[in-house]
Amino acid sequence: MLRSRTKLIELGKRQLCRSMCKSSELTLVEVDDKTGIATLTMNKPPVNSCNLEFLRALKSAMKEIESNKCSGIILTSSNDKVFSSGLDLNELRQPNPERLATFWKELQEMWVTLYLSNVPTAAAINGHALAVGCVMAAACEYRVMLPDFTIGIHATKFGYVVPPFIVNTYLSVLPHPVVERALLQGKIFSTQEALQINLIDEVVNSKDEALCKCADFIGSFEQTNPVARALTKRQLRAPFAKQLLEDPETELRESLEYINTPLFQESLDQYLLQLKKKNKK
């Protein structure tokens, strides 16, 4: 009896306040009719690793949310253990040159779209957020995370140089000495450690609570003028995005050159082997 009542309340809540926006298989967008807040759910099994198609889907969902004049974006995951495992490493391994270039351009564009989004952005981090998964969360204006997960950028641990726009994402959230130590150590933080260094804003116990906190954050801008807010945000963030805005080709060229080096490819092979081995144990 109690169960079916809870179910009915849940169903009622959903019918009352959510309308569907366009969704692809890889992303799901739900817009709250009352607040205009769009929840963008990443849905690429098994672990939301970002391949070309997923980056495209994310970018296009964000652009559509903005053009529909939504009041904000909450980024979250359909997987209750993994927010995102970062770039799909298979895109970087012995790559087809054309696809790799397209992939990296999509990564740049997705990042610029999220980082400089006109609307307030918040991440409900309901699972591990690694490498570019952490970058997506850090590119949002507010982060709330569930306990017992991990977040961070561990590229140097497995032989990757951290690209400048990834460094800059950290720098716009954390003080320079903290960024330096974290990136050079390839440090992955627990939820509690992430809270201590202010990589995240709050810890909550459930995804629902995380979504509510994010909605409250977005609601806190209700009394501001959206154009003034967006332009001020852009002014504050533009220095960190300068290189990708003004000269994306150089970043692209340097990244492609680096990814194609034997050093990078060998490290990647070893790392992928480790990932697979872990699952065979």
89, 52 contact by CB (below 8 A): no
Structure tokens at 233: 């945000």
Which of 194, 79, 81 minimizes the C-alpha distance to 127?
A: 81
10 is a contact residue toward ligand LH6CIYWY (CB under 6 A) = no
Q: Give yes or no for residue 52 binding ligand LH6CIYWY (CB under 6 A).
A: no
239 contact partners, CB below 8 Å, separation of at least 6: none
Question: Given the complex with ligand LH6CIYWY, which of 52 and 89 has the nearer CB atom?
Answer: 89
- Kindly state whether residue 163 participates in binding ligand LH6CIYWY, applying the rule CB under 6 A: yes
> Smallest gap, in angstroms, from Cβ of residue 95 to ligand LH6CIYWY?
11
Contact 75, 137 (CB under 8 A): yes
Question: For residue 30, which of 81, 86, 68 has the smallest C-alpha distance?
Answer: 68
247: three-class secondary structure by DSSP: coil
- With CB under 6 A as the contact rule, the residue among 26, 132, 215, 241 that binds ligand LH6CIYWY is 132
| Contact status: 168 vs ligand LH6CIYWY (CB under 6 A) | no
> Looking at 27, 71, 76, 85, which residue binds ligand LH6CIYWY (CB under 6 A)?
85
CA gap 127, 132 in Å, rounded: 14
Tokens of residue 190, six digits: 């627990």
- 195 part of the interface to ligand LH6CIYWY, by CB under 6 A: no
Q: How far is the CB of 161 from ligand LH6CIYWY (least distance, A)?
A: 4
> For residue 152, which of 119, 116, 182, 177 has the smallest C-alpha distance?
182
Measured in degrees and rounded to the nearest 5, phi and psi for residue 119 equal -100, 160
Binding of residue 45 to ligand LH6CIYWY (CB under 6 A): no
Q: What is the DSSP letter of 74?
A: E
Nearer CB in complex with ligand LH6CIYWY: 198/258 = 258
Running DSSP on this structure, what letter comes out for residue 50? B
Contact indicator for 269, 160 with CB cutoff of 8 Å: no
Among 151, 155, 200, 211, binds ligand LH6CIYWY (CB under 6 A): 155
Tell me, residue by residue from 207 to 246, as one string, x for binding to ligand LH6CIYWY by CB under 6 A and - for no binding: ----------------------------------------
Closer residue to ligand LH6CIYWY in complex, CB, 18/187: 187
The residue from 17, 89, 167, 178 that contacts ligand LH6CIYWY (CB under 6 A) is: 89
Counting contacts by CB under 6 A, is residue 46 touching ligand LH6CIYWY? yes
Kindly state whether residue 281 participates in binding ligand LH6CIYWY, applying the rule CB under 6 A.
no
Helix (H, G, I), strand (E, B) or coil at 233: helix
**Contact in structure between 61 and 24 (CB atoms under 8 Å):** yes
Q: Which positions lie near ligand LH6CIYWY, rule CB under 6 A?
A: 46-47, 49, 81-82, 85-90, 128, 130-132, 155, 160-161, 163, 254-255, 258-259, 275-276, 279
